[in-house]
Every structure is written in structure tokens, then in C-alpha cells.
Amino acid sequence: MRRTILILVLQLILTPFITAQEKRPLPQLRYAENHSLTWEEAISYYQILDEAYPEAKLMEMGMTDAGRPLHLFVISPEREFDPAVVHRQGKAVILINNGIHPGEPEGIDASAQYAADLLSDRRRMNSEIKNCVIAIIPVYNIGGALTRSPYYRINQNGPDEKGARRNTRYLDLNRDFVKQDSRDARAFAEIYCWLDPDVFLDTHTTNGSDHQFTVTLIATQPEKMHPEMEEFFRNKMLPGLYSRMKSVHNNEIVPYVQYTERGEIKAITGFEEHPYYSTGYSALFNSFGFMTETLVYKPYAERVKGTLQFITELARFTSENHKEMLALRAEADRLTLTAREYVLDWEQDTARWDLLTFRGYRWEETTLPLSGRKTGTYNREKPYVDTIRYYNYFKPALTVTVPDAYIVPFAWEEVIERLKVNGVEMSQLGADTTLKVESTYIESYEPAKRATQGHFFNTGVKVRRVTQEITYLKGDYIIPVNQRANKYIIYMLEPQSEAGFFAWNFFDSFLEGQDWYSVWGFESHLKELLDKDPALRSAFEKAKKEDEKVAADPVAQLQWLYQNTPVSELEKRTRLYPVGRLFKSTGI
Ligand SMILES: [Zn+2]
């Protein structure tokens, strides 16, 4: 009896506390009042949703440069949170990334609103995302989001405070997807590898132009897809999303406005998405990728609403078409395993275009009131509608044959680490081994004069391939090109990739050359060599007669001799790119 009373008393004391915890109220989002969630507010918002709904889960993933873990919020109508199981069940996984540039926070607020709306309406959840699991990165660039000011992105029409573009290490994370200098990017890659999303969306804001549209869209460069996937993407998915935005939300959208010349917009060119951008990265894994870019001059609430509408339609379209989309992606994954050619670089096909309806503002010459500078401006009092060209076709500019495997020496640990983070499988040589490989010599390249992201980008790389025997050491890594991450492997290890490891200076120390000779020591050695080798002596005499430079310059004579004696064997290592290409036909 006493025990019962004690329990009753305890219950009386604890009940209000438990109830209070269970019913933490969900705060009102304030984007209509020009306020965007801070990082703390966003995480707390998702924590409340996690506590309130069994269909939601907030997880802490890898560490970021800000010293705080990256969060991932998952909505799964059937409460299954293991992505491998979700894929096996034939459901589509959608990943939404927000706040990569925290001064462009529409997606942060729109995703929070979307999650709260869906979770609180079970019928809507069951109908709209029946065949999907939605994963949301609440805020990717945490360091940038913690540094808020009204003065970042000063030309932008709200919110009242914006985050900084760069992360704690001053890296632009939308250039860091493949080289992964930031912990943020490595944590992202781990999430990407674990989720293996079928659809990916990265949310942004653009200040590149002015026109009547609120939402502009970058979509994966279709040519990067397997042909049937490309056909579906160009002819069904993109038109489907554009028409739903118009018909369901009365919010017409347009491709990201990248125009050919300043002034009135006469044509738009497609976005060439290098893999260091988010959708370029997602294309390496055959995901259907998108970036929303809302226009800075439109009111913040409108931009959040537009982003929310796009998220809603993207999820609905995916749920309705999941079978076809998953089959196309599975086929693309299958072809990725066996493709023996890979396009490293693309160029715009200026002979092909589509027509689109463009709603612009007239461009007028004007004098700026404060500085008196004469310039042009878009006059919002003068809207117009026009049909313009949209150049969104690309053709291969550089294609490489794909080896059966690459070999990366143990020494290049930063490269190995990044390959591993991206899920690349590899093995190590059990003993020192001489292998016949196709090796690559860097004939010429141009290092940048100014650093980008802390790197002196190498461009214009010209190579020469030579098949030869090279001795590798125990522990060197063999990376077979027969796996999910094939495109990442090829793109990053080929030295001519615009943003591969070579371009980002990961291998630069090998360019500094090998042992050299000292003039005096080499001369006495040469005399001995020439005395013993009459053929070499007569070739040398001939070179002196026929080549004016050799005849006139003693140093050129030494150089000639160096290159024509056995010692020049050492030269084999000069400018030899450390990564070897292995082909079964030449015998691994
Ligand atoms: Zn951005």
C-alpha cells in the first residue's frame, strides 16, 4: 500500500515534467517576418520534430571545421532509417542540402517548414512521399552560419541577418566537393556514400541577373547521364517540374540565368557543372541533381515559398515516378561499372538550343544617383515577355580510356584518405612488385599565379603515356575501376581533369624533378665513359657538328651526354605522374 502511494506521489510529481518534455512546442518559423533560422534554432526545431514524430529522426554525422557535428534529419513514412534497407524496399532517397552558403538561407527555412507540414499531416505524408525517404541537411556550412551579420550579401532583399559564404577555414564549400579540404566536405561525402541518394537538391540564392522569376534552376548536365536517363531527365522530369511549379503553384520558374552578354537577356547558356560543385559531385554517383537559385531582389518570404514549392514538387514527382527513376539509375550504375571510356571535359554545343519563354525587365541606360556613374539597369516598371534561346547541349571535349585499375603509391596519403571517404574499395600490394603499367608523363601545365581555395590550380595539362615496367612497394594501393565510385576515381586520378587531384596540387612535389649531376664530377665520369664507348663518342662528335647550340655551349654538351648515357635511366622518373594505369591485357 505504502509502495503504491509512493508510486502515485512520484507520478504526480513527474507527470507534468514528462508531459512538458513530450510536448515541447514547435516554434513558429519567422521567414514571413524576414527572419531566417539560426543554426541553433534550426537544430532545436528538428530536435522537437524528432521527439514528436516516430517517422522522423535527427542524427549527428561527421565533424565539421566549426568543431560541431553535421546533422542529418530523415523523414521515413514507414519508420525505416537504414538507407540500405530503404533502397532494397524499392523506395527513392532524396537528399536536400541547405546553407552551403549560409547567406542564401531559403532552403534552411523551407526545409524546416516542409518537414513540419509533412509530419503533422499523416495523410499528406502517405500520399505525397509514399515511395520516398527524405533526408535533410539542416545547415551544411555551420561555421558560416554561426557568423551572422545584416551586412553579408548586402544587395540581397533579406533576411535581416545572413551567414557568411565561407566556412571556418574560409573555404567555399561549393568548390570543395571533390578535393575535400574541409572536414565539412568529408562529412558530406560520408553521408552521400551512406545514403546513396537517388535525387539531390542543393539550395542557393543568385544575384547574377534581374528578371520576373523568383526561382531559377540548375539541373545536372544531362549528357553526363546514361542515354535513357538523359532522355527521361530532358523530356519528362524537367518539363514535369517546370509545369507543376506553374500549374500547381502559379510560380513559373526558369533555368539559372547565365547570359551571354550584359544588358537585355537574349539567350541563356546551360551551366557547365564541374564536379567541385554540388550537382557535379552528385552526377559522379548518377543521382538526379538540382540547385535552386532564388533571385536576391525578391522578398525573402517569397523566396522561401518558392524553394518550399520546388521541394514539394520534386518529392511528389519522385514518389510518382520512383519505379522508372530507380530503374534508370540502376542501369546507369550498372553501365558505370563497365564503361571503358570517360568524358573528362565538356564544351558547349553552340549549334543546338531550345526555345524558352523569358519574362524579363527592359534594360536601360541610367545615371547612378550617388556616384553619378553612367551604367545600365533593369527597369522593373517595364516587364516584358520574349522567346529566347537556351543553349543546354554539351559535347565531349576530352575523353580518356578507362584502365582496369589505378595504382597509387602508399606515400600519397591525402589522396588515399579522400578516396576512402568516398567509399572507394582498394587493396594493397603484399610485397614489392614490378608491374607493367601505362604511365603518364606531364609534358606541360600552367600553375595559377593566384591561389583559389588555398591552391595554385594546375591547368592546360598535356600528357604523354608510356607503357613500361615500374617497381612499386609493398603497401601501395591497387584501385580497381569496377565499383560504385568509378566516376570519382577516374575524374580525380586522371591528371587532365579540370578539378582532379593533380589540378588541386595534391601531387605537385613530383614535378620538382630528380637527382641532378654536378658538372665537375660528371665530366670526369664522362671521359671514362666516352673512352670505353666509341659509338657514343662518334655520336657526340656528330651532335657537336650538326647542332649549333651543342657546339657553342659546354653546358648543352653535358646535357646532351647526360641524356644519351645510361645514367639518363634516372630521367625516367622526371615528371612521371605517380599514379599508374593497369590494363588486364598487358598483365597486372
Ligand atoms: Zn550559393
pLDDT in tens, 19-40: 445 578 999 999 999 999 999 9
Instruction: Give the distance between the most distant pair of CA atoms in the chain.
Output: 118
Lowest mean pLDDT among 10-19, 39-48, 223-232, 361-370: 10-19
Domain annotation covers residue 36: no
Q: Is residue 146 part of a domain?
A: yes
Domains of the chain: total: 3
Between the CA of 91 and the centroid of ligand 1 the distance, in Å, is: 30
- pLDDT tens track for 225-250: 999 999 999 999 999 999 999 999 99
363 CA distance to ligand 1 centroid (A)? 25
**Do 534 and 388 fall into the same domain?**
no
Question: Higher-confidence residue: 2 or 475?
Answer: 475
Q: How far is the CA of 102 from the centre of ligand 1 (A)?
A: 8
Q: Does residue 566 or residue 25 have the better pLDDT?
A: 25
Residue 25: asked if its preceding bond is cis (omega within 30°), the reply is no
Tell me how far the alpha carbon of residue 530 lies from the centroid of ligand 1, in angstroms. 65
Mean pLDDT of the residues in the chain: 93
User: What pLDDT is stored for residue 272 in this prediction?
Assistant: 86
pLDDT at 514: 63
* Same domain as 524, residue 432: no
Residue 587: pLDDT band (50, 70, 90) is: low
What pLDDT sits at residue 528? Answer: 82
Would the pLDDT of 562 be above 90? no
Position 422, amino acid: N
Q: Is residue 88 part of a domain?
A: yes
| 69 & 202 share domain | yes
Question: Tens digits of per-residue pLDDT, 474-517?
Answer: 999 999 999 999 999 999 999 999 999 999 999 999 998 666 66
Q: Which of 364, 395, 426 is the last residue of a domain?
A: 395
Residue 13, pLDDT score: 53
Residue 27 CA to ligand 1 center (angstroms) comes to 27
Distances (CA, A) of 256 to 79, 206, 278, 375: 36, 9, 15, 24
Q: Which of 397-406, 454-463, 542-551 has the lowest mean pLDDT?
A: 542-551
- 327/411 same-domain check: no
User: Same structural domain for residues 495 and 527?
Assistant: no
Same-domain status, 257 and 383 = yes
**Half-sphere exposure at residue 302, Cβ-oriented, CA atoms within 13 angstroms:** 16
Statement: residue 329 has pLDDT above 60: yes
Q: 158 C-alpha to center of ligand 1: Å?
A: 15
Under the banding of pLDDT at 50, 70 and 90, the label for residue 521 is confident
CA of 323 to the centre of ligand 1 (A): 32
CATH number at residue 157: 3.40.630.10
So what's the pLDDT on residue 5?
Answer: 53
End-of-domain residue from the set 395, 428, 448: 395
Residue 4 has pLDDT above 60, yes or no: no
Expressed in angstroms and rounded, the spacing between residue 533 Cα and the centre of ligand 1 is 67
Alpha helix stretches (DSSP H) within 367-485: 413-421
pLDDT over 90 (residue 449) = yes
In a domain, 330, yes or no: yes
Backbone φ and ψ of 278, nearest 5° = -60, -50
Beta bridge partners of 58: 73
State the distance from the centre of ligand 1 to the C-alpha of 205, rounded, in angstroms.
6
Report percent pLDDT > 70 for the chain: 94
Cα 129 to averaged position of ligand 1 atoms, centre (Å) = 27
Phi, psi of 364, rounded to the nearest 5 degrees? -135, 150
Whole-model pTM?
Answer: 0.91
| 292 CA from centroid of ligand 1 (Å) | 9
Expressed in angstroms and rounded, the spacing between residue 418 Cα and the centre of ligand 1 is 24
Q: Which of residues 317 and 524 earns the better pLDDT score? A: 317
Relative to beta strand 288-295, strand 215-219 is antiparallel
Label the pairing between strands 458-472 and 405-408: unpaired
Q: Please say if the pLDDT value at position 2 is more than 60.
A: no
Q: Does 125 score more than 90 pLDDT?
A: yes
Residue 110 pLDDT more than 60?
A: yes
Instruction: Report, as an integer, the average pLDDT of 347-351.
Output: 96
Local confidence band at 425 (pLDDT 50, 70, 90 cut-offs): very high
Q: What is the pLDDT confidence band of residue 366, given thresholds at 50, 70 and 90?
A: confident
39-52 and 106-119 are packed helices; what angle lies between their axes, rounded to 10 degrees? Answer: 10
pLDDT higher than threshold 90 for residue 93: yes
Q: Do 445 and 486 belong to one domain?
A: yes
Say if residue 455 is in the same domain as residue 378. no
Domain boundary among 395, 427, 454: 395
Measured in Å, residue 219 CA sits from the centre of ligand 1 at: 14
157 lies in some domain: yes
Residues 458 and 347 in one domain: no
- Centre of ligand 1 to C-alpha 203, Å, is 7
Q: Do 470 and 435 meet the contact criterion of CB atoms below 8 Å apart? A: yes
Residues 143 and 287 in one domain: yes
Residues 348, 489 share a domain: no
- Domain membership of residue 280 (yes or no) is yes
290 alpha carbon – ligand 1 mean position (Å): 13
183 pLDDT more than 90: yes
* Rounded average pLDDT over 191-199: 98
Angle at 34 between CA 30 and CA 38, to 5 degrees: 60
Q: How far away, in angstroms, is 206 Cα from ligand 1 center? A: 7
560 Cβ contact list (under 8 Å, min separation 6): 540, 543, 547, 550
Question: DSSP characters for 179-236?
Answer: T--SHHHHHHHHHHHHH--SEEEEEEEE-S---S-SEEEEE--GGGS-HHHHHHIIII
Average pLDDT over residues 76-86: 98
Q: How far apart are CA 574 and CA 467, in angstroms?
A: 15
Same domain, yes or no: 427 and 545 = no
Q: Which domain holds residue 475?
A: 402-513+578-586
Give the pLDDT of residue 18.
47
The residues pairing with 379 across neighbouring beta strands, listed in sequence order, are: 362
Domain assignment of residue 38, yes or no: no
Residue 39 placed within a domain: no
